Structures are given as structure tokens and as C-alpha cells.
Amino acid sequence: MCLFCKIVNKEIPSNLVLEDEDFIAFHDINPIAPVHVLAIPKAHIGSFNDIQADTMAKITIFIQNIAKKLNISKSGYRIITNIGNEGGQEVKHIHFHILGGAQLHWPKLT
């Protein structure tokens, strides 16, 4: 079982931000911005290459709700997902990084 599946199953604690029937969001343990949250589907989906359109539509709304809850929806935020080894995906369970709370730059984030 992957790390994020263990978080979904409450086998590993997380700093929960938001949860619904299909998704969970929690603070990243190594934040790179003042706001750094991970949003994941509860069902194990290996990567962005494997996600279905209907799940993508639902997680879009979920991420928008996270941004509202964390008061970054109006000031702005960044969503990142890494795909595969060369894309930097470390956990093979699709996840979206939601970054905000400061003026973000590229490649330097804060």
C-alpha cells in the first residue's frame, strides 16, 4: 500500500485541511511556500496519465474549495502535479500541490 493510501486509511496521521467522500487534502510535511497543501483522490490512481475525466472534474471543484478555505482564491495560487520519474513524481499516487500565501516566482517559489 502506498504512503498516500495509508493517509487516506488513517494509518498515518496528516494535518487535514479538507475531506469529502472522494478526496482528501492535507498540509505538505516539507512546505516550499507559506501555503503548501496536497490534494489527492481517496482511490489509488497512479498518476495524471491514469486519471479519468470525471475524477479530474470533481477534484477541480475540490481544489477550488481548498483555495477558498485557505483564503488564497483571490490573491492567487499555483497547482502542480508531477508525472513519472523524470517529472519528479516521488509518490506513485496522483497528487496536486496547491501553493500560495506569497508572491510565487518561477523557478524560485517564494
Q: Is 27 a catalytic residue?
A: no
End-to-end Cα distance, the chain: 34
The catalytically annotated residue of 27, 36, 44, 95 is 95
Residues identified as active-site: 95
